[in-house]
Amino acid sequence: MAPPDALDRIHLLRALSAEQRAAVVRQCRWRRFGLDEQLIDHWAETSDVAFIVEGRVRVLSHSAGGREISFDDIEAGEFVGEMSALDGRPRSASVVALREGTLIAFLGPRPFQDLVAGHPSLAMAMLLRLSGKLRVATDRIMELSTLGANNRVHAELLRLAKRGRIEGKISVIAPIPVHSDIAARVSTTRETVARVLSDLSRDGLVERRPDALVVRDVSRLETMVEDVRGSV
């Protein structure tokens, strides 16, 4: 039922012709997911790749105690689940929808592998993507291995500030990041995030406005992070 151009906004598939993309559309299984609904189950034996056509998803896992460890938030136009689709091994994490009505196109492992094997530019795009993910994972291993929870919250705040609206030495982060999201991204508790942000706020480095979190001096925050990390 999906129109032939339904996958036109998936970046990976832009190297294909319109006809080739339409052929992929016909091979996909389409489904909408509700907020927080799981589209890939860590423990299920599935190996489809999932193109995010509309909405947004989060890749995550849980500790034995139920604490969430999040790996990545993925936007419409991207995809997820490619590792099992390529190597046939179990899922490395779960994936849930972050928006009501998230629209997913699932493509089976064989057609996905054929697609990658048949188009060198697509294979190269996949290599760059996996390489990028491996770099992020390597940085996170270094942070978890060498920084305390406080400093990891600083480092995450710095990442958010760099993606925020920069005004001179200030960065405006909107909407206000959810404490539990920061906690899941740097593997700590919500309570630690709340305490660190409140300390930074008392120091005047962070200001909480009704609709945004403001870092009042990005370079001072950067110095705090770099001093501990020692990556010079």
- Binding flag, residue 219, its own copies (CB under 8 A): no
Nearest alpha carbon to residue 165 among 117, 113, 202, 211: 211
CA-CA distance, 227 to 232, in Å (whole number)?
9
Distance of CA 134 to the CA centre of its chain: 13
Write down how long the chain is. Answer: 232
CA–CA distance from 142 to each of 51, 52, 61, 91, 198 (Å)? 30, 30, 19, 24, 26
Query: By CB under 8 A, is residue 120 in contact with its own copies?
Result: yes
State yes or no: cis peptide before 175, omega within 30 of 0: yes
Given 65, 168, 175, 210, the residue binding its own copies (CB under 8 A): 65
- Among 67, 190, 195, 216, contact with its own copies (rule: CB under 8 A): 67
* Nearer Cβ to its own copies (21/185): 185
Stretch that binds its own copies, among 94-102, 167-175, 191-199, 223-231 (CB under 8 A): 223-231
Residue 92 within binding range of its own copies, rule CB under 8 A: yes
Closer residue to its own copies, CB minimum distance, 84 or 171: 84
Selected range binding its own copies among 30-38, 123-131, 161-169, 214-222, rule: CB under 8 A? 123-131
Residue choice 33, 71, 79, 106 for contact with its own copies (CB under 8 A): 71
Cα–Cα dist 76/209, whole Å: 29
Q: Which of 2, 57, 9 is nearest to 26 (CA)?
A: 2
Q: Interface with its own copies includes 228 (CB under 8 A)?
A: yes
**116 near its own copies, judged by CB under 8 A:** yes
- Regarding 63 and contact with its own copies (CB under 8 A), the answer is yes
Q: Can residue 89 be called a binding residue for its own copies (CB under 8 A)?
A: yes
Residue 10 neighbours by CB distance under 10 Å: 19
36 dihedral zone (left: phi>0; alpha: psi -120 to 50; beta)? left
Residues that bind its own copies (CB under 8 A): 61, 63-65, 67, 69, 71, 82-83, 86-87, 89, 92-93, 113, 116-118, 120-121, 123-124, 126-128, 130-135, 137-142, 144-146, 187, 228-231
